[in-house]
Structure 1
Amino acid sequence: MDIRKLQRAIVDGLEDVKAQDIRVFNTTHLTELFDRVIVASGTSNRQTKALASSVREKVKETGGEIISTEGEDIGEWVLVDCGDAIVHILQPALRQYYNLEEIWGEKPVRVKLSNTRAFAGARATEFDGEDEDEDEANEAAPAAKPARKSAPRKAPAPASKTAARKTPARKASGK
């Protein structure tokens, strides 16, 4: 199966169950075992299991093969081995702790997502040259809006000592 069709099926399966922060990385320069690592987050054990199930179904629908699935019994980190692509579905705390992007993320792959973000993986300037469809390679990435500059805020003036006092001063008794 073509790697672009496989990664599209995987991303579609992840998006069907509302995966968060989907990232696709080209790993051909790191290992001969697989060509892509796809990392996504699920908010609960139930969602990570559903994401893995959705990925398996989409890959099988497109004619791909599922080698194995691991971690579904607990559901905190589910790995789906699709042969040329490995899918890691983690809960956010585990994803942050293990930081798979640091290990596999040297070459992000540009993939169109159906949600409001246009591309996963990285900015267009970090693009490794592979695109999921050649027609889409000619489309420009949406331009990032420049950050707004605001005037520096002034520190509040210190309050006077008498205004800071909450209790009234005691009067001295004249007796």
Structure 2
Amino acid sequence: MPGLIRCANQEDIDLSFTSLAASPASDGAARAAHSKATSDLILAAILNSLDDDKAEEVMQIDLRGRSEMADWMVIASGRSSRQVGAISEKLADRLKAELGVVCKVEGKETGDWVLIDAGDVIVHVFRPEVREFYQLEKMWQPTGAAAGSSR
């Protein structure tokens, strides 16, 4: 069933979940296109969920070609430990319900820094003070970049 996904660049993309699942896996180019669409679909769902839950200072970092661990990293803040935990829990629940993506979640108990591993997309949700201390954005930004790709 097709659905419209609002992507970070504010374009609507019509993605059919059945067409993604049914794409031919025998052709290498098709498999690469399927993988890219899947990571972009997961990214769009994550950004929508973070927006719905009022996450602050959401930043996405393109890791394609820079790291084998994931295609995208998303960094966001919540105003309190309680909000950080709620954002993370709802995100994992939505990804499982909407896309069938089962996430690994670490750090939800303390709510200072929660890591959500959604496969092709890694999400970090911080309390503002903890985010400022670790400054992950600076570690992953290209050399000389003043600001990352934010939403």
With normalisation by structure 1, the TM-score equals 0.59
- Stretches of 4+ moved more than 6 A in 1? none
Q: Distance in 2 between matches of 1:99 and 1:64?
A: 31
2:126 is aligned with what amino acid?
L
Q: Is the 8 A contact 1:22 1:40 kept in 2?
A: yes
1:72 is aligned with what amino acid?
K
Structure number with higher strand proportion: 2
Structure number with higher helix proportion: 2
Matches within 5 A, 1:123-142: none
SS of residue matched to 1:29: coil
Compare CA radii of gyration and give the structure with the larger one: 1
Q: Is the 8 A contact 1:19 1:51 kept in 2?
A: yes
Partner residue, 2:133: 97
2:67 is aligned with what amino acid?
T
Partner residue, 2:96: 60
Deviations 1:52-72 (A, max 9, x none): 012112212332423410001
CA drift at 1:122 = 4.9
Alignment size in residue pairs: 111
CA drift at 1:42 = 0.4
CA drift at 1:90 = 0.3
Partner residue, 2:149: 121
SS of residue matched to 1:79: strand
Q: Distance in 2 between matches of 1:102 and 1:52?
A: 22
Q: Is the 8 A contact 1:13 1:57 kept in 2?
A: no
Q: Is the 8 A contact 2:57 2:150 kept in 1?
A: no
Gaps of 5+ in 1: 108-119, 124-175
Partner residue, 1:45: 81
Q: Distance in 2 between matches of 1:71 and 1:23?
A: 20
Q: Distance in 2 between matches of 1:83 and 1:122?
A: 21
Partner residue, 1:148: none
Q: Distance in 2 between matches of 1:66 and 1:33?
A: 16
Whether 2:60 is the aligned partner of 1:32: answer no
SS of residue matched to 1:23: strand
Q: Distance in 1 between matches of 2:47 and 2:105?
A: 17
CA drift at 1:29 = 2.4
2:50 is aligned with what amino acid?
L
SS of residue matched to 1:69: strand
Partner residue, 1:155: none
Q: 1:62 to 1:105 in 2, by over 3 A?
A: farther
Gaps of 5+ in 2: 1-34
Q: Distance in 2 between matches of 1:51 and 1:104?
A: 23
SS of residue matched to 2:87: helix
Whether 2:39 is the aligned partner of 1:3: answer yes
